Structure 1
Amino acid sequence: MKTRFWLSHLRRVSPMIGLAMMVLAACAAPGREAPTTPPTPNPTLTVSGGGALQPSPVPPTAAFPAATPTLPPPPGGFGSPACENPYLPVRLGATWDYQLIHETTDTFTRSVIEVTADGFVDQDEFAAGAVRQGRWQCQDGNLIYLTPGPVAGSVFAGEMQTDVTLESNEGFYHPADLRPGQTWHQKTVFRGQSTLEGEIVVETRTEVNYACRAEDFETITVPAGTFDALRVTCEVHFTTSVAEGMTFEIEEQSTQWLARGVGMVKSVGQTEGAPPYTIELLSYRLP
């Protein structure tokens, strides 16, 4: 599974890509040759008869409280039974407009651009011109994120292409039915290769660990309206190794508010070494 990023004067991308940009300065400095032989991956994924990636057999962690509330089903239908998730409606053509306040203010539109029997692809298109695509796998409503990280960090780059290959995964990013007190995790390992004008300039191996907890319901008001939303807190740890032996670690803390049948209505967080960010829902359209 490969994910491709095209970066043209890109200002906000995932921390792994941002880290690759910082490493680029070191690896492409005069007198140092960029690596020419990519590392040999040791995948722990299997391919089913239909060609879909399956997570490694390590079971995900999900702890439930003794008593959980019973919630009504979300309105409307879903694009794929395997992707039925009440807090992230997976419907082809669904769009959410957000405002991002980071180092500067920007807006972006998140949309579901592809839905299959066992997965989907979402896309963020920023007013400033950057585009991010995320690939997901679905298992009975559990949503598994197969792309290096959320929108955070800040880099400036020219015409650079980065190919990211999934090496292994365990756990999931969104449980099938979130409830207060629930905890879960996801651990993914990626290999990245960045090229500039056709030449390999940096190769990386990144391990991303998500540890999340559903807290409680709160009333949240954003430009799109007022929502009864579930507060979810997450800690994310990125460890990136470069082919020449350098290792970098980055921590991120975030809080999201998720509305049933709508999706994310607000998110605040901070990546280590960067200013805090806030994302708020401006409007949304669900087919």
Structure 2
Amino acid sequence: MSSASDAAVKTAVGQPQASAGKRTTFWRLLVRNKLAVIGLIFILGWMLTAILSAWIAPHDPYGTDPVNKLLPPSAGHWFGTDNYGRDIFSRVVYGARISIWTGMIAVSISFVIGVPLGAIAGYYGGRTGSIIMRCMDILLAFPSLVLAMAIAAAMGPGLLSALIAVGIVGIPEFARLIHGQTISLREKEFVEASRAIGVKDSTILFRHIFPNALAPLLVNATLGMGFAILTSASLSFLGLGVKPPTAEWGAMISEGRAYIISGEWWIVTFPGLAIATAILGFNLLGDGLRDVLDPRLRSSK
């Protein structure tokens, strides 16, 4: 009895240590990936900018000043001013709040809806799985931006429309990914053993299959953030997303595009660089997570 209890204690003590060791190994491998670290710096920088925008912005992002309109970058206005005299640096800083959080919320919508649908389709198969996946194929049949434009136009311009449109467009990617993972996992011994002892299907899905498919889902979510930011900015650029004068990167580029020919390059350059660095950060971090979480890629290096 004592040896059995000692073994149980060792097992209970060893599990937290093992999980802590895995976390340590994960961070060590991630830090060794220089591009992933650069991406993480970009992401954290923009997240802090979004959170602290009220303290970082030196001017009112919506305050107009016709006397100082179309000023080039200077000590008083680091990124210059637009055609209404508004400080572009302050508007870029405030635009991070909308662009970053829009991407996060849109990806969350795609994740919360797409993952359960794909898991159910992969686990049960048959007619249920066919109906769900054919619906996903229909969504994938349209170009992503065109579908987002159609949804946003049907709902009317606005931030909520952009969120829902970008979220719906991303659902098929998560559904197809978890669908394939579920099909490969449902035949594993631990899943069959759970069925044999009468474990509920919902428990098998969320306690056995989902944790084993989480790594590729996290990678896809990270990469999807860049896509969501770009798509939401595109909708705002086309007039189907955030309405002016709201400070949003895509809307800022749309307002300043008429001034490129006359030489006021700064109006569109700095919002464009903000979009580029945010997308680059999520793409680099997503590639780094894929390298760290996929043992096949780790072993090949």
Higher strand proportion, which one?
Answer: 1
Q: What TM-score, normalized by structure 2, do the two folds share?
A: 0.22
